[in-house]
Amino acid sequence: MFKFFEPNKIFLINSKVTKYVLFLFIIVLSIGLLEALVLSPEDYKQSHSVRIMYVHVPAAWISIGIFSSIAFLSMGVFIFKNKNLSLISKSLAPSGFIFNIVALVTGAIWGIPTWGTWWAWDARITSMVILLLFYLIYLLSWRIFDNNDKAIKITSIIAIFGVINVPIIKFSVDWWTTLHQPSSINILSKTSIHSSMLIPLAIMTAAFALFSLLIFLMKYNTELIKIKNKGLDRL
């Protein structure tokens, strides 16, 4: 089942794919920024500060998405004893961590002109801070434990525990009263973002996803080189 994850093969494919991903990322980001900063209209209420949303929302989505992926991969590590999956999760984590910080910082910047405060300890923001702490402890434990087997075990446990926080983030705005507004994009009900604002949001999400993929591929290759240098054929 996991033949596909043969490190040597992946290394060769990765090295080729990285260039194309970078190229694609630059194109999508340029279109996204043009749409978000120039072509899209201002909001009837927030005027131009709505443009912060085009960075804030994709960053939040991707940081949550990456953490969920790490958690599922970690479950795979535990269930199938496949160590390569933990290498993938390890390589995914840095961009998710960075996007989590981006989401919090842009949210604070947006909060000043709209809410009148840059920070509120409401359920949404607090749960995002908890996610950031989980990312932090996850990344730290990869560095702290020299013994690879031990690091794999501990990081997997952290990710599996942390995934409980993901639905809390998602539904915090529905379960409790929060200063943060509820989701505008819903699968079941009508979307409350006008289409002229939805398009730049979608393009920026694609751009950020490509950026994460790029960082992931680079980090993953670095990890593979590290393993090779240690004189190990496989994990």
Compute the distance between CA of residue 100 and CA of residue 132 in angstroms, rounded to an integer.
Answer: 6
Distance between CA atoms of residues 52 and 110, nearest Å:
6
Q: Give the Cβ contact number of residue 49 at 10 Å.
A: 16
Place of tokens 């443009």: 51
- By CB under 8 A, tell whether 120 contacts another protein: yes
Task: By CB under 8 A, tell whether 50 contacts another protein.
Answer: yes
Instruction: Select the residue interacting with another protein from 2, 20, 23, 80 (CB under 8 A).
Output: 80
The mark string for 22-41 relative to another protein (x by CB under 8 A, - otherwise) is -------------------x
DSSP letter at 184 equals: S
Coil, strand, or helix at residue 95?
helix
Beta carbons within 8 Å of 101's beta carbon, 6+ residues apart: 132
For residues 163 and 176, give the distance between their C-alpha atoms in angstroms, rounded to a whole number.
20
Which residues between 188 and 217 bind another protein (CB under 8 A)? 192-194, 196-197
Give the Cα separation of 216 and 8 in Å (integer). Answer: 17
Matching residue, tokens 């359920």: 123
The least CB distance from residue 66 to another protein, in Å, is 19
70 binds another protein (CB under 8 A): no
Residue 179: CB minimum distance to another protein, A:
5
Rounded to a whole number of angstroms, the minimum distance from the CB of residue 133 to another protein is: 15
Q: Cβ of 209: how many Cβ atoms within 10 Å?
A: 18
| Complex with another protein: residue 110 or 216, whichever CB lies closer | 110
Contact code string over 135-174 relative to another protein, x by CB under 8 A: -------------------------xx-xx---x------
- Specify the 3-state DSSP secondary structure of 43: strand
CB of 79 to another protein, least distance (A): 5
DSSP 131: H
Residues binding another protein: number (CB under 8 A): 39
Q: Which of 3, 16, 38, 79 contacts another protein by CB under 8 A?
A: 79
**CA–CA distance, 151 with 155 (Å, rounded to integer):** 6
Q: Which of 12, 16, 38, 44 binds another protein (CB under 8 A)?
A: 44
Q: Does 229 bind another protein (CB under 8 A)?
A: no
Footprint of another protein on this chain (CB under 8 A)?
41-46, 50, 53, 75, 78-80, 113-117, 120-123, 160-161, 163-164, 168, 176-179, 181-184, 192-194, 196-197
